[in-house]
Amino acid sequence: MCLTETTTTGSHHHVSGHDHAVEHTGLDRRGFLRTGGVMAAGAAAASLGVATPASAGGRAGRSRRVVDLTHRFTTDFPTFTGVQPTREDLTTFDEDGFYSQLWTFGEHTATHLDAPGHFSPGQPLVDELDPDSLIASLVVIDIRRRARRDPNAVVTVDDLRRYERRHGRIPRGALVCMDSGWADKADDRLEFMGGDAFPNYNFPGFSLDAAMWLAQRRDVTGIAVDTASLDPGNSEDFAVHVEFLATGRYGIEGVANLSSVGRHHRSVVVGVVPWQDGSGGPCRVLAF
């Protein structure tokens, strides 16, 4: 949601591709790690190439084995604070024989994770997260119709109960994602943020009741939104950030392509860099 630290990093570009299929059959997260599932998912991510804002990333006539829920990280991706990333060449082919970049950006840029310690002192930071929590069952709550009428629409407890009547109980340890359709607006800052600057933003988020119901009643591992904040844009107290993150769970903001998730996409991998004392960080989020 908000930018609290600025990170400068050099990046080298390497791309490799491998075919990959993961069929979820009740395998637990530790079992998935033992079978090399994370390596396979990472290879699949490379084969998909870069993600673009609001692109479904599908193949005509067939469903994808992996759906990339990640926006492409660019210097003009809308940020909550309006502070944009910068980049420049660190090395070049002509001068150095290889290519790399130097980036400067806030930890909470583009598709990114909010660690529990982002709003709650003493809670885990990104390098302290349990790796098991980064592989989760995937649940998508669709509020697109309501969000078209109300830009500050929220996921409610009724939405969660309605989902369970149709699809069964939300699994313990799930990552519960809000699909408001807002990812389609990511190439236009004013549309995506719903205003020029805080506190004049307008976009959907989670209600505090729904977020805490998921924490207390379903023991989820985290929540995710396709907007710039876990809280709706018109929030001024960031109650979801304050109270939900204080339970030791994480949030993910700025996810993409949730409308492309099918019933066969039952699990998600969150690839976040465990940098030192991070309040969060950009991540690659893959549904498989």
- Asked if residue 218 is part of any domain, the answer here is yes
Closest C-alpha among 224, 260, 241, 49 to residue 136: 224
- Asked if residue 46 is part of any domain, the answer here is no
To which residue do tokens 């944009």 refer?
Answer: 84
Q: What local confidence, expressed as pLDDT, does residue 263 receive?
A: 84
Q: What is the pLDDT of residues 219-264, one digit of tens each?
A: 999 999 999 999 999 999 999 999 999 999 999 999 999 999 988 8
pTM above 0.85, yes or no: no
What's the number of domains the chain is made of?
A: 1
For the chain, the helix, strand and coil percentages under 3-state DSSP, each to the nearest 5 = 25, 25, 50
Burial (CB < 10 A; 0-12, 13-18, 19+), residue 45, is: buried
- Asked if residue 279 is part of any domain, the answer here is yes
> Is 86 within 8 Å of 75 (Cβ atoms)?
yes
To which residue do tokens 């030192």 refer?
Answer: 276
- Asked if residue 68 is part of any domain, the answer here is no
List the domain range (segments joined by +) for residue 227: 108-287
Q: What is the pLDDT of residues 106-126, one digit of tens each?
A: 999 999 999 999 999 999 999
- Asked if residue 191 is part of any domain, the answer here is yes
Q: What local confidence, expressed as pLDDT, does residue 62 receive?
A: 55
Cross-sheet strand order for the sheet of 100-106: 6-12, 100-106, 86-91
Burial (CB < 10 A; 0-12, 13-18, 19+), residue 148, is: exposed
pLDDT at position 10 over 60: no
- Asked if residue 66 is part of any domain, the answer here is no
Q: Would you place residue 18 in the very low, low, confident or very high pLDDT band (cuts 50, 70, 90)?
A: very low
How many angstroms separate the CA atoms of 205 and 233, rounded?
Answer: 7
Query: Which has more confidence, 128 or 65?
Result: 128
CATH number at residue 256: 3.50.30.50
Q: What local confidence, expressed as pLDDT, does residue 20 receive?
A: 34
